[in-house]
Each structure stands twice: as structure tokens, then as C-alpha cells.
Structure 1
Amino acid sequence: MSSESATQNLTLVQAVRDGLYGEMERDDDVLVMGEDVGRNGGVFRATQGLYEEFGADRVVDTPLAESGIVGTAIGMAAYGLRPVPELQFAGFMYPGFDQIVSHAARLRTRSRGRYTCPITIRAPYGGGIRAPEHHSESKEAFYTHEPGLKVVVPSTPADAKGLLAAAIRDPDPVVVLEPKLIYRAFRESVPEEPYTVELGTAEVRREGEDISVFTWGAMVRKTLDAAEELAEDGVDVEVVDLRTLKPMDTDTIVASFEKTGRAAVVHEAPKTGGLAGEIIATIQEEALLYQEAPVTRITGFDVPFPLYALEDYYLPETARIKDGITEAVEF
């Protein structure tokens, strides 16, 4: 990717659409499918204009049947296509869960390598938009637990386009969870031509010396805001955006922790069974002798995602993230 490449100023959802367009133009085997993705352009307009550009054979409106959407995509992938099914919300993925974990994730090993399953399952995830039940879940840990799946969560427009392209080109199934809270929250410069961001690589968004904070998705911006406020109090926070939750970039996690000796993990999923526990276990296994304080978990609560009145309390906001970081620093 040349430093002189033409760029465009995009929101995250526009970058998703741009990434889809680029991969569909580059490879005739790539197709998009899902509920209302065609003429309507998707519930968040992530596929807007693709139907007019590529036609009904490559932008396929499906019935409201998540199991059927994923199952059909698996069959397409086994015979050489690269389908990108959109499931309207991550909370609607459960009817397709059996297809994802019992078939998509296992096709390579089940066929002893004869078949692969190059599907990219996209779904908006996370809270903060005042949606009703089943529209705000953050259940990324479900999918990271399954061998054979990769799991990606972008936090910026540039990463959204590059990670999506890498996922589509990958020979195995990838779940791309898009943080809808920041779909249109900000813009940044994104190269016009297709490019990839390597799966399995974290990005240090802010260098720091006092504590490492590991996070992803919509929580990256909130964590960066907390870090800037804490800097005024003399606390130097390093913020690491994991970007790919599986495979997880343990090298970057360990290197950051060895530098600071203290850590916190921020995610909006419930605390119990959340990925914070896996990250902490990695630190214990790989860098225990560098540890100066217990690792703080700043997460959602172990309750169903609440409706409007309590949504802001449930999600880790800047103030709660600051408190958690301060607890680890002052231990």
C-alpha cells in the first residue's frame, strides 16, 4: 500500500461497504447474502449500492432464517465460492450457531483437507444504540472457543476495511463482529484501493509505561478517552487494541505487560467466561514474574443486557474504565 495512494474519509460502516465492494470487484467468487442486503442495502446500509452494481446473483436477499443463511453459505464455500453472509445482529446468530460450530468450523478437518470453508460471517454487535432485546449482545467468547474459527473485531474504519478483506481472502471461516455503536461515530482516512490488515495482529493505539490496557471494538475509543484523562493525573496508560480475538496476538500482549507490569482488560461482554479471563491466564503463563498488581477486569455485568434506562450503566464508560485502571495502578 503506497503512502501516496488515494484516500477517502469514511465512517466505519462506509469502510465495511467499501471493503465488500473492493473484494467483489476483485474476485467474482465473492458474494454477499442476508436479510435485506439487496435492494434495501442492509439494516445499517453496509451493503448499499452493491445490488445495483453486482446484481441479484451476487447480492442475495434471503429469508429470515439464520440457520439457512449460514448453511447455504457453507455449501457454496465447499464448492469454490466465497460467500459473505450478513446476520442482521449478533444476537440473531444463535439459530445459525449449530451450522457455524458443527459444520463451518469443522469442514477442513472433517474432509481431511479436501474442502475448506472460506465464508466470512458479518454481524453488528454490542450495545449503546438503545436497541431492544437480542440486539445488543457481545458474545464474542462463544466463537473464540471453537477450534477452526477466526474472530475479528475492528475498531477503526481503516481496520474495518483491511480486516474484512483479509477475512474474505482467508481459506477458513471468519466471524467479523462490527461494533455498531461506532458505525458512524467518526471518520478517518481510508485508502481507496483494496488492501488487507493481517489477521492475528494487535495494534498499540497508545504507548505508555505505567499500565497496559487490552481492549477491542467500541471500547477502544472509550479506553483511549480514559487514558487521556488519566494522563492529566500523571498516569501513563498503554492501550492495546487486539483487533483479532482469535488467533490472539499473545506476543504483543506479553511484550506490553512486560514493559508495564500492570494490566486491565476492558470489554462490554459479561465478566464470567469473558475473554478478559483468557488474557489474564496468558499473562500468568507467560509473564508472571513481571506482575506487580492483580489484573483488573472492567466489563459488562453477569445479567441479560438491559433496556434503555440501564444501558449506560451496564456498558463500561470512561469513568468506570478510569476507576479500574486507577485501582490496578495504585495497588
Structure 2
Amino acid sequence: MTAFSGTYVDAIRQALFDAMEADPRVCCLGEDIGTYGGAFRATEGLLERFGADRVIDTPISEQAIAGAAIGAALMGQRPVAEFQFMDFALLASDLMVNFAAKAHWRWGATVPAVFRGPSGAGNGGGPFHSQNPEGHFLGSPGLKVVAPGTVRDAYALLRAAIDDPDPVLFFEHKHLYRRLKDEWDEAPTARLGEAALRKDGSKACVITYGAAQHVALEAVADLDVAVLDLRTLWPLDDETIAELAKRTHRVLVLTEASLTYGPGAELAARIGETCFEWLDAPVLRVGAADTPIPASPPLEAAYLPGTKAVRSALDHLLAW
């Protein structure tokens, strides 16, 4: 690819373009991704460059999209399926959880398919277009789950997901689509399962991912507190998580997903089990309220874990 300068959603589009240029097996399918260019314009221009055989508009059916992608992957293609909102990935969960995730275990078949789309709140989308449903899939062995929180990771992790032999769910936070910008002369690379230290510190650490890392970075800007971006929720970078927990002795887990039974609960449990002897305080969690997501902007802001909630939890943690 040539030099890049653009937003998070531009990086998604560039990753798709470069992957399709590099490998004729890569194709895209989903609702309105062709002529319309996608609901958020993530596939704009791909139809004109690669044609209708590789950029396929589908009916409004997540089951059909997932089924076609899985079938194409089993036949040797590398499909990238777009769900217009990841909230509706749950409609295709049977195919992804009970078929794609288990194909390797049942008969040794690989399913190199990516299921991508926008997730997350912050745009007033309400309870049906703002969820973080990644936790629904994290308990399904055989699926990989990725949640980039930077422009570079949006590009690099999508390229890695497309190259991966296993089915990958790729959660793009829509609130970041046009709020983050970056540029590079050489395309960034990344591997699934590797976390990134966004800020170092010695007094405590915040372990997070996706858009929540930016909340964490703002909250700890003046504190000697580290921020670790998981980037990939499965597989987890257990080694880096444990090293940071052992070094800082205090851990706060921050997620935008609901607090109860969410990804943060598993993270806190794993850290508590593996790092107990090095911790000076319990692992604390901050997450979204256990309610449907309000459409009203003030109520949505109250629903989401913000910098004040993170700072309050850290004050408690540091005083332990």
C-alpha cells in the first residue's frame, strides 16, 4: 500500500482494499456494502475496484450472511462478512457458534472467515444499535474475538484476522470511526493475541480494550498508572497481563460492556487466580450499567463508564 492518512473507518476500508489486492480469495459480503458502500462507508469504492463477484450485496439476513461466509470459507475463499450493526450478530450466533467455531474440532476443516461490524455506544443509537455483545461469543471455543481501539490496530488487526485460519469476530467501535486519525508511510502489522501497553506506570494498571482505553488514558493522565489495551479478547495475552499485574500490584479492569457477567468478570477472575500472591488489593471492575442502553444522550452518558467512574475506582484502589 501507499502512505496512509485518515480515520479509523478509513483504516478499515484500506485494510479491506489491501487484503483484496493481495489475495484473490478475499471477498466481502453484507447488506448495502456494494453500491451504497456500507452504512458507515467502510466498503466504499470496493465494488468499483473488485466487482460484484467479490463485493456482494446480500439480503437483510444475518443468518444468510454468516451462512454464505462460512460456506465460502469451507470452499477455499477468505470471506469478510459485514453485519451492519454487531448487535444483530446475535441473529447469526447459531451458525457462528455451533458451526463455524466447531468445524475444526468436528472434522479438521478450517473456516477462515471474518465477521466484522460496528459496535458500542456514544452516538445515541439506543438499545438496538449500541451494544457491546462480545461477551456473548467469548465463551464459545473456536471463535477468536478482536476489538481494535486505534487507527493502526483497525488496519493491522483486520489484516491479521483476514489471514487467520480460524473464524474471527471483529468489533469496530463506531464512536471511533471518525474521531480518531493517524497516518503512516509503511503499513502497520500486528498479531492476534498480543496486548499493547498504551501508558506505563508503577502504582496500578488499568486493563481494557476498544474505545474504553481512551477513557482510561484520560482518567490516568496525571497518575503513575499503566494502561494495557488487550486488542484481542480471545486469545488473551495472559503473559503480558500477568507481568503487568505482578509489577504494579493493583489492577482495575475497565470495559464498556455491562458489568455483570461481562468480559471484565472473566478478566478479574483470571488475574485473581493467577496473580493473587502479587496483588496488594482486590481486582476492581468498572463497566456499563446493567440496563439496556438509553437513546437519550444524557442518559447514555450516565450509562457509560466515564473518567469520573474510573478515577473514583482508582482512588479506592490506590488507597487500599
TM-score above 0.5: yes
Aligned counterpart in structure 1 of residue 202 of structure 2, from 209, 212, 237: 209
Quote the Cα distance in structure 2 between the aligned partners of 1:109 and 1:186.
39
The answer to whether the aligner puts 1:110 opposite 2:106 as a matched pair is yes
Count of paired positions: 319
**Which deviates more, 309-318 or 163-172?**
309-318
Amino acid corresponding to residue 217 of structure 2 in structure 1: L
Quote the Cα distance in structure 2 between the aligned partners of 1:215 and 1:320.
14
Match of 1:244 in 2: 232
Quote the Cα distance in structure 1 between the aligned partners of 2:240 and 2:173.
23
Match of 2:57 in 1: 61
Match of 1:226 in 2: 219
Deviations 1:167-223 (A, max 9, x none): 001111000000111111121123454x53100000000000011100011111111
Deviations 1:265-304 (A, max 9, x none): 1111111111111111221222111111122111001111
The answer to whether the aligner puts 1:166 opposite 2:166 as a matched pair is no
Quote the Cα distance in structure 2 between the aligned partners of 1:74 and 1:139.
20
Match of 2:278 in 1: 290
Match of 2:184 in 1: 190
Quote the Cα distance in structure 2 between the aligned partners of 1:7 and 1:279.
37
Match of 1:33 in 2: 29
Quote the Cα distance in structure 1 between the aligned partners of 2:254 and 2:126.
24
Identity of aligned residues (%): 42
Amino acid corresponding to residue 6 of structure 2 in structure 1: L
Aligned counterpart in structure 1 of residue 309 of structure 2, from 311, 320, 330: 320
Say if 2:242 and 2:274, in contact at 8 Å, map to a contact too: yes
Match of 1:329 in 2: 318
The answer to whether the aligner puts 1:119 opposite 2:113 as a matched pair is yes
Quote the Cα distance in structure 2 between the aligned partners of 1:305 and 1:103.
30
Match of 2:74 in 1: 78
Say if 1:276 and 1:297, in contact at 8 Å, map to a contact too: yes
Quote the Cα distance in structure 2 between the aligned partners of 1:25 and 1:196.
17
1:86 is displaced (CA, Å) by: 0.2
Amino acid corresponding to residue 130 of structure 1 in structure 2: G
Amino acid corresponding to residue 311 of structure 2 in structure 1: K
Quote the Cα distance in structure 2 between the aligned partners of 1:138 and 1:186.
19
Amino acid corresponding to residue 30 of structure 2 in structure 1: G
Match of 2:300 in 1: 311
**Which deviates more, 319-328 or 85-94?**
319-328
Quote the Cα distance in structure 2 between the aligned partners of 1:175 and 1:191.
28
Deviations 1:109-134 (A, max 9, x none): 111x1x21000000210100111331
Say if 2:208 and 2:227, in contact at 8 Å, map to a contact too: yes
Amino acid corresponding to residue 40 of structure 1 in structure 2: Y
**Structure 2 alignment gaps of length 5 or more:** none
**Which deviates more, 102-111 or 183-192?**
183-192
Say if 1:9 and 1:190, in contact at 8 Å, map to a contact too: yes
Quote the Cα distance in structure 2 between the aligned partners of 1:95 and 1:242.
26
Amino acid corresponding to residue 304 of structure 2 in structure 1: L
CA-atom RMSD in angstroms: 1.2
Secondary structure of the 1:41 match is coil
**Which deviates more, 268-277 or 118-127?**
268-277
Say if 2:124 and 2:294, in contact at 8 Å, map to a contact too: no
Amino acid corresponding to residue 79 of structure 2 in structure 1: P
Quote the Cα distance in structure 1 between the aligned partners of 2:294 and 2:100.
32
**Which deviates more, 33-42 or 295-304?**
295-304
Say if 2:126 and 2:293, in contact at 8 Å, map to a contact too: no
Quote the Cα distance in structure 1 between the aligned partners of 2:256 and 2:143.
21
Quote the Cα distance in structure 1 between the aligned partners of 2:252 and 2:151.
25
Say if 1:15 and 1:190, in contact at 8 Å, map to a contact too: no
Say if 1:148 and 1:173, in contact at 8 Å, map to a contact too: yes
**Which deviates more, 62-71 or 131-140?**
131-140
Q: TM-score, with normalisation over the residues of structure 1?
A: 0.94
Q: TM-score, with normalisation over the residues of structure 2?
A: 0.97
The answer to whether the aligner puts 1:300 opposite 2:288 as a matched pair is yes
Quote the Cα distance in structure 2 between the aligned partners of 1:85 and 1:58.
11
Quote the Cα distance in structure 2 between the aligned partners of 1:253 and 1:278.
13
Deviations 1:3-57 (A, max 9, x none): xx96322211000000000000000000000000001110010001001000100
